[in-house]
Amino acid sequence: MRPTFPAALILMLLATPTLAGGTLDGRIVTLNVLTYDDPAAPILDSRGRTVTVGDGLEFGMGPEYRTPGFDVVPVQVQIGPARIEFSYGEGRGQFWTAAFNGYVLRFETDCALFDGWAVDAAATTMAVTAADIRAEQGALFINVDSRNYGPEATLAINLSVTECPLS
C-alpha cells in the first residue's frame, strides 16, 4: 500500500513561500568616496549622499573640490535588488594608488546584510576582483585603487543579500 498525503498538507506545502534571500530595494543607503593609507588619517573622505534604493540611477557623483589636486572621480551608481553597477561617463585616468581608494556604501541596518559577492566579469571592464570588496555589517567597501577609469569602464557586482529587516 502506497502512503498518501492528506490534501490539506499538500495545499499547505504549496502555499508556503520559498525563501529567496533579501533585497536592496527600499533600503536607505549612503555613498561616499574614501581614500587612505592609514584608516585613522584619510586622504579624502567625501561628503556622503543618501538615497532610498529604487528604480533608476541612485547616485551621480561629481568632483567636490575639497582637496587641491585630489578629488572625487565622476561616477554613476545604479543599485538593483542584488546588484550594484558603476559607470564613468566623464574624464579618463587612473585612480590614486592607496591602501584603500574606493567607494563605501552604508545601508541602514543593524545586521550583516551581505553574505557573498562576485564581480560580474561579463559586464565589468575594470580590473576589480572579489578580493577588492569587503563587507562590515551593512557597509560594502569597494577598492578601485590604481584602476583605470573612463567612458568605457564599468564595474558590476552581484550580491548575496541576507534577510535583514529594513531599518
DSSP letter string over the chain?
------HHHHHHHHHSPPP-----TT-EEEEEEEEESSTTS-SEEPPPEEEE--SS--EEE-----BTTB-PPPEEEEE-SSEEEEE--S--EEPPPSSEEEEEEEE--SS--EEEEEE-TTT--S---GGGEEEETTEEEEE-TT-EESTT-EEEEEEEE--PPP-
The predicted pLDDT at position 65 comes to 62
- What is the tens place of the pLDDT at every residue in 6-17? 444 333 333 333
In this prediction, residues 8-36 reach a mean pLDDT of 66
Lowest mean pLDDT segment, chosen from 5-9, 62-66, 119-123, 134-138? 5-9
Contacts (Cβ under 8 Å, ≥6 apart) of 126: 86, 144, 147, 148, 149, 153, 154, 155
Cβ 11 vs Cβ 76: under 8 Å = no
Q: What confidence score (pLDDT) does residue 157 get?
A: 97
At 80-106, the pLDDT tens digits run 999 999 999 878 999 999 999 999 999
Query: What pLDDT score was predicted for residue 3?
Result: 47
Above 90 in pLDDT, residue 56?
no
Tell me the residue length of the chain.
167
Using 50, 70 and 90 to split pLDDT, how confident is the model at 158?
Answer: very high
Q: What is the mean pLDDT of residues 128-153?
A: 95
Mean pLDDT of 138-155: 96
* Residue 61: HSE in the Cβ half-sphere, 13 Å Cα cutoff: 25
Q: 110 or 129: whose pLDDT is higher?
A: 129
Q: Where is pLDDT greater, at 56 or 122?
A: 122
